[in-house]
Structure 1
């Protein structure tokens, strides 16, 4: 190593050691900058309360960045919080993009121009319901990579990425006259792991990249202890009851200002579930509490925007891909509109302005247009417009073929034989199965579908499996979410054994957010098979609109080369936000890639979005089959007890028991007249009191679930999201107690306790008396 680089490295290490020992970068006063003191933030030496809101420049058309920032300022915020998404900036290894929609520096400078400071969240992991949590897909080309650990390849790529972030954004810190006042280290790591040395190394990379402003970590109240380090400031994320959650923060951080790093005014949406909303009075009340106690906050999201292109992510388990609309029921709507929630918060914040602050006028909404219904007139069937194929003995995942996004077609010749079962391990995420060009099945990962009844075939019959990738998992333990067919395809032999199908032609149908593949050729006509459809419409003026895709099936849409995102007629979203700057006077082109076939090939532009029009039948998503009834007669509970009131995470301990099937039976609620049961999260403890991994958990039964009026499905009890919950029916029928949920743990476990997180935003349905059952065999009635 050259002497100059060696000296630079030595100086950095010395600097890092001094900071780690003294914590001076975090805790000392700075007369001209931003610092953290024992009881408050300090801006230029004066106490400062951060009124922040999250918005992601990647989810906003660049032409509207300034408008959205003006809206945030007019609502009464003094800071914006911004994630960086690594996959947006490093599309291939070593090739960085900081232009156009990825120009983070320009966004920060605009924020400063509008009188807003910036809290930077660079990752390397972000989450944010963004594809792969912000990780670039090409990390998964390393077969044995272990994300968010000290895996050497992962750490080296993270270091190089953060170094590049520093090159671009470190000059914009407040210490250099810029708007960036704090930088986050990783993100909600306590919900994933507990390697504090890993957090320390990511901290070192951020320091090495040139960031000298205070650093912080964030997490939910029960996960804070997993990643806290003395030299890094801590904030807590929550969606309800700031008093109790700040108490949890104080347990691990005795001094320093209180701050909620993510306060949820609404929630994100997933395909096949209801559109989420957050009550205005609840949000106002809790933010008022924080302001009264001089606690800082960041509203996640103040403006959600849109996950354009193929950038929307997914949760798992269970697998739930998220909608492209990221409206979030935020104070500033998906299209940048002022809302009732916006004005309620503007009124609140007006009473807490600091010396010299005033509220600017609310910017006018951008113009909105409608587009009369028009038809697509040309098609390009997918099976007639394929890229060159590669041959492979066994099918492999998308990443193995150097493909990041889109679809992939697997084709082989069948050996022939009687009717049998075809088994695919695994389908990620949505598959159409054909024999000799005739569709025989549709497989949906949301429902764990991976088997197909294969008809009688003859030798040489062609099997096609077209798989659509719907967004990689962005949160939790199943981040390593490779797409396509992940392992193999088998058929069942007459004797019950299985045989792998081999000798495949694989067609990687890579899709871009900037237009369709050049090899796609259109012809006049229509089809209900998987196909690209093209149409045109004329405009005399431009403006925002909402493309009505309710008459189509499932797929992607491009307008004038811009990918609007994904649509799916199951809902809840039935429109797609179209920014005015992406339209033009005169002729405009629309291309729709539809996998399942349109009811009618008709599109239109509406003046308002359709965000909550759920078409999928509720019975397909409930965990109680018709006529099914749990029978606990004769079953002996391993524990019986009473939960105290409140929202705190409750831990109960009992004698070690072993079993595979867990049943929690709620006998009543804290409010005796309340017929409901609600649960935000459940955890089990092993013999040593450690949390048992929940990656293999599966809900087998819930006596009641509200899936029509709300997203109250039972799977929410282990989705790592304290804001979502299992809620028994409240719309229509309101069955009385007892209520029960049965979970298959995926294998036998020795259990010594249970953790129960009550509903956070309301006392409705919080459990009082309960019984816990653990069985080696399935309970009667199931």
Structure 2
């Protein structure tokens, strides 16, 4: 009897061990992933993809597995993984897939934890990442055509995709790996219409080694047919609050038997410097996922965990120039530090109901957080004491790319060729991105690309005065046609002054010295430091300190005493800071700290109020400190339309989707005013998601030079619902007026020059029923500004 019990116990232990191994360590046998009738088929069985988007370069490698386990505990069965070309090839032909760039190791970790993988190898990724993932050195070829059939661009992306395949091409499902699908390009309909180019990218990806795995492409429901290839799966991208059925309606009509997937379901949104911290309600996000699960629609939650755009990797958005903050928290269910938020728990409760009766895995342990007492900086390396030898001793203006530099600052220096008594104006065309002007080392003023500034008022100038223009590059634009974003002074510098007869004189300044100040850690550490004193504690330059820790943990470095720049801790580039906010702290992973002595270097391009930092247990990512208003209506300003005649009036339909309006005859002008008289269902405020104007041929006018000249009302208290959202290339964002502000409402677009306009296209909000959409309206067009 005892012997039989022992044998039974051994058998049970063997079975238990086998079951444990089957769940903990997946086998590497080949499998299949197919597109079936209205469903994905994994090894021949229906499979709903529940994907979590996470970005390996935005997470410290020691934390990768904890983040993956957090996704699995949420109920996800797949990871959506973008491949970042520019972080793997920071200089041409120098490829790096090691350390935090080890794509293969990340995918193997996903497989170890029983997760499938969707691979998104670009070449373009967007992701609010520097230049949308494209390498800056492509711009050294000034006439390059990005994301087109430009021979050099195609040559370089081919080489990169081959390198990606060398790393992970053997990890596709048919070879026993976790990769079930590979994406071709990314949201190309928002860039252009070029099926030949998209087809070429498809062929390159297939020929690089992804010839057996399924390929797909993603776009928006409004533009997916522009570049849709017949042999690829089509997926839709849309965000929280969208009308799910409406987003898939056109796709279902064209492909009635194909599986449906939202390849980017936006859980939140990204933050920009000078804008309010973005949030999206958890209820709308969870309800959207519940509806998709109820309909067996697959999805990828972008982002499930956002992470951090370390160092200089945060991008910028367009039209205009809107650089992104360092934190990519994204208001995601898993916050920047890898912790579960209330949004996480609410979503987990719903996901548990669609887990085929199985219990979800437990949450992994969160990493501890610590506080760090105030650290006073003891050393400073002033900018003007640490200028290197000029890389160009004399010559024309050159950009960063001309100087073979990707990131950091350039200092341009010349001498004033003639005396100018009295005030003059310095005009820089264009400074990318934040320029400070000095005469003989004395600060005169700034030019901020965000504010579309281009001039500085100058004092009396003498022959031989030294003019310095110190230009800091922020992230390159990552969305739209403006991704071809050169840094530095991109054209010319002029002095304008007035003669005694009131005639204007323009002098183009030439013969420039150029000093290169890269933002890598080695350059900062090698500067000449001196003790901090009352005399130098607020200068522009580098500040260095050490601090001791008895224990390590995650912390958030409070930068509110500093101005603008970059932070390096123990050699790690932690990211950009800027006193304007909304982000005031920088996430510091405990795995990059150490017991004992730690080093911190702060590069401050404007100078601190006080060189002091501290480490907080909680982040501060929602505190704005702006000099002026966030709105486009100045105090006391009221639009006066008396005497103006509308060129068109009409009524828009209710409901979702684009609408097009044609005028009775073409009109010309620079300024276009839309007057909203009311909204559908008599709601008290109005919204516009996107607006295009049509040219003489009925084609969309470029919105790149547009700006908002006036908006009577903008909701900047519940979110960034400014008027410029009507041309930000994002269908899920919108201009909104405030509750309680009565109609009519007005928005005036400055097209930068006279244009012939024949009509407009307008998109209301994406939510079901298009709430607060405009009903009756009038349109005015003028060449001269409207009266206020």
- With the length of structure 1 as denominator, give the TM-score of the two structures: 0.93
Confirm whether residue 298 of structure 1 aligns to residue 300 of structure 2: yes
- 3-state SS in 2 of match to 1:267: coil
Among 771, 774, 777, the alignment partner of 2:777 is 771
Which residue of 2 is the match for residue 748 of structure 1? 754
Q: Which residue in the other structure is 2:374 paired with? A: 373
Write the deviation string for residues 685-724 of structure 1: whole angstroms up to 9, x where unpaired: 2344322221121111101112244211111110111222
Match of 1:12 in 2: none
Matches within 5 A, 1:248-647: 248-354=250-356, 357-389=358-390, 390-415=392-417, 416-418=419-421, 419-494=423-498, 495-512=503-520, 514-517=521-524, 519-525=526-532, 526-617=536-627, 619=629, 621-647=630-656
In 2, the alpha carbon distance for the partners of 1:330 and 1:372 equals 29
1:482, 1:462 → 2: CA distance? 26
Please report how far the alpha carbon of residue 251 of structure 1 lies from its aligned counterpart in structure 2 after TM superposition: 4.4
TM-superposed deviation, 1:127: 0.5
Q: 2:675 aligns with which of 641, 665, 677?
A: 665
- CA contact 2:279–2:719 (8 Å) conserved in 1: no
TM alignment of 1:77-116, pairs within 5 A: 77-116=76-115
Distance in structure 2 (CA, Å) of the matches to 1:87 and 1:600: 35
Task: Report the secondary structure of 2:483's partner residue.
Answer: coil
1:430–1:467 contact (8 Å) kept in structure 2? yes
User: Which residue number corresponds to residue 16 of structure 1?
Assistant: none
Question: Alignment RMSD, CA only?
Answer: 1.7
Q: Secondary structure at the match of 2:573?
A: strand
1:272 deviation in Å?
Answer: 0.6
Give the Å deviation of 1:79. Answer: 0.6
Structure 2 residue matching 1:528: 3-state secondary structure: coil
Q: Distance in 2 between matches of 1:612 and 1:267?
A: 13
Counterpart position of 1:700: 709
1:764: Cα distance to partner? 8.0
1:260-300 superposed Cα distances (whole Å, 9 cap, x missing partner): 11111110000011111111111111111111111010110
SS in 1 for 2:510: coil
Q: What SS does the corresponding residue of 2:640 show, helix, strand or coil?
A: coil
1:671 aligned counterpart, secondary structure: helix
SS of the aligned residue for 1:345 comes to helix
| Structure 2: tracts of 5 or more residues without a match | 1-28
The aligned runs of 1:653-692 (5 Å cut-off) are 653-659=662-668, 660-672=670-682, 674-692=683-701
Distance 2:605 2:389 in 1: 20
Contact 1:628 1:781 survives alignment (8 Å):
no
Structure 2: distance between partners of 1:762 and 1:736? 24
Contact 1:186 1:199 in 2 (8 A): yes
Q: CA deviation at 1:521?
A: 1.4
Are the aligned partners of 1:74 and 1:361 in contact in 2 as well (CA < 8 Å)? yes
> Residue by residue, what CA displacement relative to the aligned partner does 1:237-275 show, whole Å, maximum 9, x if unpaired?
111111110113324444311111111111000001111
Q: Is the 8 A contact 1:666 1:770 kept in 2?
A: yes
CA contact (8 A) 2:659 2:763 kept: yes
How far did 1:511 drift? 1.4
Output the TM-score relative to the length of structure 2.
0.92
Determine the C-alpha separation between the residues in 2 that align with 1:751 and 1:325. 40
Task: Kindly indicate whether the alpha-carbon contact (under 8 Å) linking 1:531 and 1:593 is maintained by their aligned counterparts in 2.
Answer: yes
Give the match's secondary structure for 1:536: strand
Q: CA deviation at 1:770?
A: 3.0
Match of 2:166 in 1: 167
Distance in 2, Cα, partners of 1:703 & 1:665: 10
Please give the alpha-carbon distance, in whole angstroms, between the structure 2 residues aligned to 1:251 and 1:302.
30
Q: Which residue of 2 aligns with 1:126?
A: 125
Deviations 1:573-601 (A, max 9, x none): 11000000110000111111111121221
Q: 2-side partners of 1:328 and 1:96: how far apart?
A: 29
Residues 8-45 of structure 1: CA deviation (Å, up to 9, x unaligned):
xxxxxxxxxxxxxxxxxxxxxx9931111231111001
Tell me the CA shift for residue 518 of structure 1: 5.0
Shift of 1:618: 5.1
> For the Cα contact (< 8 Å) 1:662–1:772, is it kept in 2?
no
Aligned partners of 2:607, 2:659: CA distance in 1, in Å? 49
The one-character-per-residue Cα deviations of 1:649-683 (angstroms, maximum 9, x if unpaired) are 222233342223221111112231x3222111111
Q: Tell me what 2:732 maps to.
A: 723
Query: In 2, Cα distance between the equivalents of 1:156 and 1:105?
Result: 24
Q: CA offset at residue 115 of structure 1?
A: 1.1
- 1:296-351 Cα offsets, whole Å, 9 max, x none, are 10110000000011000001222110000000010000000011111111111111
Q: Distance in 1 between matches of 2:36 and 2:752?
A: 48
Q: Distance in 1 between matches of 2:743 and 2:35?
A: 49
Based on CA coordinates, which of the two structures has the bigger radius of gyration?
2
Aligned to 1:203: 202
Q: Which residue of 1 aligns with 2:8?
A: none
Range 106-115 or range 766-775, more displaced: 766-775
Distance 1:766 1:183 in 2: 39
Match of 1:17 in 2: none
- Partner SS for 2:516: strand
Residues 745, 772 of structure 1: CA spacing in aligned structure 2 closer, same or farther, 3 A cutoff?
farther
Partner of 1:194: 193
Inter-partner Cα distance in structure 2 for 1:283 and 1:686: 38
CA contact (8 A) 1:656 1:687 kept: no
Q: Is the 8 A contact 1:224 1:252 kept in 2?
A: no
**Does the CA-based 8 Å contact 2:524-2:542 persist in structure 1?**
no
DSSP 3-state at the match of 1:250: helix
How far apart are the structure 2 equivalents of 1:181 and 1:354? 21
Give yes or no for contact 1:656–1:750 (8 Å, CA) kept in 2: no
**1:617, distance to aligned residue in structure 2 (A):** 4.3
- Structure 1: state its 5+ residue gaps: 1-29
- For residues 700 and 434 of structure 1, what CA distance do their matches in structure 2 show? 31
